[in-house]
Chains A and B, each alone.
Chain A
Amino acid sequence: MKTLIRLILTLSVVASSVGCNKDDKASTSTAPASLTIGVAFETLQTEYWVAGYEAIKAEAAKRGYKVVEAVADGDANRQFEQVRNFVTRKVDGIILVPKDAKTCIPMIRAANVANIPIVLFNRPADKSDTKSVAVVADNFALTRATVDYMISEAKKTGKRLKAMILVGDLGDINAVGRRDGFDAAVKEAGDTLEVVARVPTEWNQEKAQAGVVNALQANTDISFIFTSSDFLFPSIVSALKGAGKYHKADEPGHVILGGFDGDATAWQMLSDGYLDATGVQDVYFEAQQSVQAIVDLRAGKQLPEVIRDAGFVIHRSNAKEKAAQMWGANVSRK
């Protein structure tokens, strides 16, 4: 026990001496010559998040700002701890990709209490008493535009097609917006489409693949598939190949395919003639707006709660023209 007490006393002395230095340094520091931005991502598991993270780093580097990163690996509690670490580090601003719209609220509150501007990248928070700015794609409008294009392709067949949608994690407000955009588009195309399968994926490729396989077994004549995120395309392609239904657009038996995000897989499928359309989020615009929002908030400017990224629909007819704006095409070229 004596050893323990001695150890604790020694550690306390070391801690307090180092601690005092740090606190003193922090309290006497002046305004930073360059900003340090804490970037907390829920995950880097999909191409979109990696591209988003790289775009934020590039935007910060362009302005001479430093980025400190943290990735929570899907754990909201860990992300909460990481945001508190940013607060401890006294970063100048935080860009957050939360796990969902609700668990981020205490994180935003922690930043608010410390008077650190916080911007939510691509995923907004639910309504609460906290203050943040979200830079997000217009999921509803962009999905609707994408599905409208797919419906126009379906009409060319002259048949009433059976359709399937892969729904994301409904705890993610983006997934809800995309599902609603799909529903709004198909509601007005009852003579062209009948939705026979809704596959819940929870943003999980294995669940998506199992769901698509089951749906294709139950409805062998499905010929219209929309996925709420392009990162689920490998699951769809695998299931379609298994069912002998993976054909190019100009081949008989083609299943009309559409998605959302604009990743490298989608670009490849579009280039190869398998994909009909995808709604592209402008990741460069979102990154630029997120960093700018930190600067503006620090300057005391009033910003809207949500900054919208209109995005665009890319399809076979405009692919060459829009490729340079599509982040997935750029990733693919690298």
Chain B
Amino acid sequence: MIEQAPALILLFPFFASIIVALAGIRIQGVCFPITVISMAASVLSGIAILGQVVNNGAIRYRLGGWEPPMGIEFRIDALGALVALAVSVVGLLTAIYSKRQVPAETPDKISQYYTLYLLLMTGLIGMVITGDAFNLFVLIEVSALTSYALIAMGPRRATLAAYKYVIMGTIGASFYLLGVGYLYIKTGSLNMFDIHEQLIARGIFDATAVLVAFILITVGVWIKMAFFPLHAWLPNSYAYAPTTSSAVLGPLVTKVMIYVMIRLTFTVFGADYTFGRLDWSDIVVWMSVAAILVGSISALAQTDLRKMLAYLIIAEVGYMVGGMWLANDMGLIGSIYHIIADAFMTLCVFLFAGIIFTQTGKRDLNALDGLFTKMPLTMVGFLVGAFSLIGIPPTAGFFSKWYLIQGGVASGHWEYVIALLISSLINAVLFFRIIEIAYFGIKPAEGHGGHHHEELSKESPTKASFSMLLPLLVTAAMLIGLGLYNRDIVAIISDFVSQFNFGVISR
């Protein structure tokens, strides 16, 4: 059983999605339990995989029993195991959260919603564990198609955002596919590790086609992760989608694409090529600085809570892209740590935004008026997420930023360090504004008369139900846990990072 864990982590949600599609239409009650149970089983497999990887090194799993590169293989190293586990945990938590939300927001399409949800999880987990460049494309499309639908099921502005996402997402995925084609025409292989070996064996690192492949793949993945100049599709998609959709897409899609970027740059092209031959670190780090600043400043301008959080995602993407391109091990460790940390802190704040939207029915920040007394536990959960996004110890956000800053200092990219600090400051301003509204209430001058207030109190926000509160609090606890156990996590990440000898790369 344990040696099948690499397949099982993905097969549980996969089979569950088909069962939900078949049985859920007749008996809607089975959708939620099947989803939660399958995601829980997936989490257990993820833990088994992580244990195996930490103890015995990378796992290779041959699908169909064919030896690579003939067949497709999973190759799960420390990085893959960690991210796959994080993805499945986020999937489980959001699944629990969805219990009340999905029947409320998409009442006549519950089974379709859960089918798509589970297929999205299948696609995302598959992207993390696969070792085949073309298989990655197929799974990108599985997760993309499901996310289009999960967004488009929302109100009409969400549908418009989903249309933009379809166009941008297709361009991104097609660029990736084209990049793989350019690699294939030069190497004849599709297995990521084999492509790298072939690039070395044939000595074609100088070929134009390889350079173009690198650009195509990088740009394609950047579009998918909403890196700054290519981010236009993201804010509205995540702001207007059904709350469960944004709670699962926000933390996962961009993070998994960052994982894909790290995987492709380091496994397929290799650190020597990316940072040695192409000395583009300076340009990309400057781009990430722009992403961080634009994301943060745009977030400051928003009055809509979820749109603000969506812009924060763009800033966070800048953190991670920049961290990876700092071209030293601290930056890479920080970037990978931030994938995990950011998945949970984004989940935390999106769950909070979803709860607020459901309980008050309002989108803007004024909905938070005086919520501290009405929903104390929800606010505590949110506070942890906010502190993590700001970077206050002992939350995970502090430690990942700490590594990123160390990486920035070590490589001399001061502009990156400064952007990181400015962004943290802006986050602090943003979240203290929310805390102020929630704790002290809106000043009466802004309150536009008492009439409005009365109307509110008539249907005053009730406490969030247990199924919504539990994931939020678990996420908050995990953020603190990830922070407290930062040494263990960094040890696992170092396992992966230490194979790249950054010191040798000439810069």
Specify whether A and B are partners: no
